[in-house]
Amino acid sequence: MGGEFDFLEWIRSRQKPDPLIVIGSGDDLAAYRWPAGELMLAGVDQVVDGVHFDSKIHPPRAIGRKAMNRNLSDCAAMACLPAAALATVALPAGCGLEYARELYLGMEEAANLFACPIVGGDTSSWPRKLVMTVTILGRDGGIPPITRGGARAGERIFVTGPLGGSLLGRHMEFEPRVRMGRELAEKYRPTAMIDLSDGLSRDLRHICRLSGVGAVIEAGSVPIHADAISLSARDARTPLEHALHDGEDYELLFTCAAEVPGAIRIGVTTTDREIVIRDGNQTRALEPMAWEHRL
């Protein structure tokens, strides 16, 4: 069983030359020749055992993929191009070098699909459970980033796919909508965009609050994933409730003045600050019920 330095040596051996990377993994910091005139976008996201995955069920390769994909999904939400990633892992003591490698290979697998090199990181071990973080750096690639704060009243609200029940497995194996985000931004210029990680009811709230608008969601237009129906059969919640509140769908939620072919229109933005859902003649407040980490 190897130590931290064997693992770091192995990581270094996997580095490929890249004209933009002046100093790669293995130094105090990596150095990157930032393309002139391009914005640098940056975010970080963590996954912790028992909250975002269950190490008793999920193989390390899948955990690594998820850690990376969550960050790539943030790139999708801003319509930017992934440029480079950094990762940390706090390993359960005694998990072994092979386990650590599998985590890394999962991250690498996900990042490679978007030509995003892993340029640095940090490894610790401790007598507790697995925690991983990925920092993602993105560049605008000629398309101005789309924030959460640009929606105006009277615009359409869209999602890019069916929602709910991701807990049945999709939350571990999703495809970040990086290309879709770029395409939407280029063709239709959404006014605000976010990836659905906290659940539609909560993520819509982020857009509305930052944009200073309200929203009316049409209950009958919310696309319901088959998983939401399966999960509904097991608990007291309806498929629609699952679609509205579950989270970890990793589809894009966006607002746009124009119609967007291929996207699913679920409502409109309004001048008042209320977020409501309309079901036939009934209109009620759409309160978030998604997961919130308690401090």
Q: Which of residues 33-92 bind a second copy (CB under 8 A)?
A: 33-34, 36-46, 48-52, 74-75, 77-78, 80, 84, 86-88, 90-91
- 234/293 with CB nearer a second copy: 293
Report if residue 249 touches a second copy, rule: CB under 8 A. Answer: no
- 20/229 with CB nearer a second copy: 20
> Smallest gap, in angstroms, from Cβ of residue 253 to a second copy?
11
Report if residue 138 touches a second copy, rule: CB under 8 A. Answer: yes
DSSP annotation of 120 reads E
> Smallest gap, in angstroms, from Cβ of residue 216 to a second copy?
23
Torsion angle of C-alpha atoms 205, 206, 207, 211, degrees rounded to 10: 100
Q: Which of 67, 68, 72, 100 binds a second copy (CB under 8 A)?
A: 100
Which residues, 185 to 204, sit near a second copy by CB under 8 A? 194-195
Q: Which of 123, 166, 201, 255 binds a second copy (CB under 8 A)?
A: 123
DSSP annotation of 96 reads -
- 88/230 with CB nearer a second copy: 88
> Smallest gap, in angstroms, from Cβ of residue 151 to a second copy?
13
- 118/244 with CB nearer a second copy: 118
> Smallest gap, in angstroms, from Cβ of residue 58 to a second copy?
16
Structure tokens at 255: 């607002």
Residue 257 burial (10 A CB sphere; 0-12, 13-18, 19+): middle
Nearest to 72 by CA among 104, 23, 108: 108
Nearest to 185 by CA among 256, 136, 113: 256
CB atoms within 10 A of CB 287: 12
Residue range at the interface with a second copy (CB under 8 A); choices 134-142, 160-168, 170-178, 269-277: 134-142
Report if residue 22 touches a second copy, rule: CB under 8 A. Answer: yes
Q: Is 190 helix (H, G, I), strand (E, B) or coil?
A: coil
Which residues, 254 to 293, sit near a second copy by CB under 8 A? 292-293
Structure tokens at 221: 């237009």
Q: Which of 59, 141, 149, 214 binds a second copy (CB under 8 A)?
A: 149
Q: Is 111 helix (H, G, I), strand (E, B) or coil?
A: helix
DSSP bridge pairs for 253: 159, 194
How many residues form the binding site for a second copy (CB under 8 A)? 81
> Smallest gap, in angstroms, from Cβ of residue 161 to a second copy?
18
- 86/219 with CB nearer a second copy: 86
Q: Which of 55, 125, 238, 283 binds a second copy (CB under 8 A)?
A: 125
Torsion angle of C-alpha atoms 135, 293, 203, 266, degrees rounded to 10: 130
227/170 Cα distance (integer angstroms): 9
Angle separating helix axes 60-78 and 97-112, nearest 10 degrees: 30
The bridge status of strand 214-218 relative to strand 275-279 is parallel
> Smallest gap, in angstroms, from Cβ of residue 73 to a second copy?
8
